[in-house]
Structure 1
Amino acid sequence: MLAENKDEMREKILEAALKRFMHYGASKTTMNEIADDLRCSKASLYYYFSDKKALHNAVLMKIGEAFFQELESEADRTDISAEQIFFNMIQSKIQFIERFSRLELFKVLNDKTPEIQEIINSVQSREYAMHIKIVKRGVTTGEFDVTNPEEIGMLYQDAMEGLRFAGMSCMPEVVVDLDKEGFEKIVAQQKLLTEIFVRGIKKQ
């Protein structure tokens, strides 16, 4: 089989799994059902993914990468204020979580395996870089008045992450349907924190 055909088949499996996971939830989807959707054998799935967890993680990686590319494009914008970019990024995250809540995004954050922790650390590094870039841009345009943009960007990220994990600690380990009340509370807190944070570093 040609390498490009292997890549094509892998993508088809990921798309079929994503469709199933979003409709029924990851926990309630079986490898047999995904194989049936693709009209292939279950053994064919195991050729590409060792088990359903590996397939689930691969699906999350695929949508996560597309999401981060969107966020990084937002962080690079020069046509709006740095303050607006912060709020736009919150809105993008809201839309992402609402769309993909049935993929059990929160369950992955409780996974302590080295592979998942490495991914989480990589995600955190990318978020740090984005927030530092936004603060630096605000300083360059005269919107923000800080002498330590790297530290300020990292502080903002830590504060936002703290709110997110504080809210998630009250959720069950496996979240299939989004807890709208809890989620809206976290979002409101993050928006308020951003408003206070930006007010504190804005040039007077």
Structure 2
Amino acid sequence: MQTETKDGMREKILEAALKRFTHYGASKTTMNEIADDLHCSKASLYYYFPDKNAMHFAVLQKIGEVYFQEMEKETRQITTAAEALMNIIAIRQNFVQKFCRLELFKILQDASLAFHDELVKAKEREVAIHAAIINAGIERGEFHVADPNETARLLAEALMGLRYSVLDHVRSDSSFTDEEFELVIKKQQLLATIFIKGLKQP
């Protein structure tokens, strides 16, 4: 462990935490278990993270970057803008299914100011992705939109809103059922379909 660089050790901790959180759930994982997986002391974890919430936040940042990179890749390989907008929903669906045990809603409830700032940045990044796709649709003659950036914001915010309105409330265990998740996706797909039809109107 002594020869490990600081950045390298931090990355190993995040990988171990992600593995545990994904399999068992963040709330059911202890710092001791992560330390045991890494064959290090719990004190070593606290050198890099002041508490488990900070580690949880860092894990979400790590997988969030992968999520956005995948979405941004979609904007660089557009066949049709309509298809790309639907593919974004599929990317989100696969991501949430894979990382559903990371308990995003729980950390939202306990969010610090720093985490709130990251959420704002994430929202703006998601809006920018939708804007890039809509602008591509305009350039191809597929969409007819007067204000692509504002239209992208409206669509992105409407899709985000469905995640909360369909679930009604967040349970104490910060979980949701497969049926609830599928309902969110179906409603997002329906909304996007209606929205796309509107964008195609001359």
Q: Work out whether the TM-score is over 0.5.
A: yes
Partner of 1:8: 8
Shift of 1:173: 4.2
Cα separation, partners in 2 of 1:19 and 1:146, compared to 1, 3 Å: same
Contact kept, 8 Å, 2:53 with 2:107, in 1: the verdict is no
**TM-score, normalising length from structure 2?**
0.94
1:112: Cα distance to partner? 4.0
Helix, strand or coil: the match of 1:124?
helix
**Residues 143 and 201 of structure 2 are in contact (CA less than 8 Å); yes or no, is this contact kept in structure 1?**
yes
In the comparison of the two structures, how many residue pairs are matched?
202
Whether 2:151 is the aligned partner of 1:149: answer: no
Q: Deviations over 1:123-169 (max 9, x none)?
A: 00001111111111100000001121112111111211121121243
- For 2:116, the equivalent position in structure 1 comes to 117
Q: Kindly indicate whether the alpha-carbon contact (under 8 Å) linking 1:111 and 1:117 is maintained by their aligned counterparts in 2.
A: no
Task: Tell me whether 1:195 sits opposite 2:178 in the alignment.
Answer: no
Correspondence for 2:67: 67
Name stretches of at least 5 consecutive residues in structure 2 with no aligned partner: none
Give 1:31's aligned residue: 31
C-alpha contact (below 8 Å) 2:26/2:102 kept by paired residues: yes
Partner of 1:84: 83
Question: Which consecutive segments of 4 or more residues in structure 1 shift more than 6 A?
Answer: 1-4
SS in 2 for 1:142: coil
Give the Cα separation in 2 of the matches to 1:108 and 1:49: 15
Extract unaligned runs of 5+ from structure 1. none
Sequence identity percentage = 49
Q: Distance in 1 between matches of 2:2 and 2:196?
A: 53
Q: Output the TM-score relative to the length of structure 1.
A: 0.93
CA distance in 2, matches of 1:63, 1:3: 26
Post-superposition Cα deviations, 1:13-64, rounded to whole Å, max 9, x if no partner, equal: 1111111111111111111111111111111000000011111111111011
Which position in structure 2 is the counterpart of 1:17? 17
SS in structure 1 of the partner of residue 99 of structure 2: helix
